[in-house]
């Protein structure tokens, strides 16, 4: 049963995700993981831009960091893990309307 924790860095309340969008994302992640019903859990949290920093200076307003933490019982080999991380970044970025380049997957 994969558990996926999302943390979106936001500037405004309007950037928050609707329950319907979260459910669509969760369903697509469940299909990706080939999970049975209720087999993929997704938890969504927010960090305001004031509480987020990266070395080298301030963030451009178009920069929307999205952190995706995946907890799985067993991890695939390194090559497959890299491929899966790329696929998950694509799924999350597309569903949430955030840049894939700013979507980071952590296992």
Look at residue 1 in the predicted model and tell me its pLDDT. Answer: 86
Instruction: Write the pLDDT tens digit of every residue in 36-58.
Output: 999 999 999 999 999 999 898 77
The DSSP bridge pattern shows strands 66-71 and 103-106 to be: parallel
Instruction: Write the pLDDT tens digit of every residue in 2-49.
Output: 999 999 999 999 999 999 999 999 999 999 999 999 999 999 999 999
Report the predicted TM-score, pTM, of the whole model to 2 decimal places. Answer: 0.93
What is the spatial distance between Cα 8 and Cα 72, in angstroms, rounded to a whole number? 21
Instruction: Write the pLDDT tens digit of every residue in 55-86.
Output: 987 778 888 999 999 999 999 999 999 999 99
């Amino acid at each position: 049963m994969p558990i996926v924790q999302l943390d979106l860095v936001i500037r405004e309340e309007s950037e928050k995700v609707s329950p319907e969008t979260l459910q669509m994302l969760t369903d697509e992640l469940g299909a990706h993981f080939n999970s049975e019903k209720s087999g993929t859990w997704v938890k969504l949290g927010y960090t305001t831009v004031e509480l987020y920093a990266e070395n080298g200076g301030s963030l451009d307003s178009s920069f929307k960091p999205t952190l995706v933490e995946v907890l799985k019982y067993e991890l695939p080999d390194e090559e497959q893990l890299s491929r899966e991380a790329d696929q998950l970044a694509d799924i999350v970025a597309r569903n949430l309307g955030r840049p894939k380049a700013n979507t980071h997957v952590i296992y």
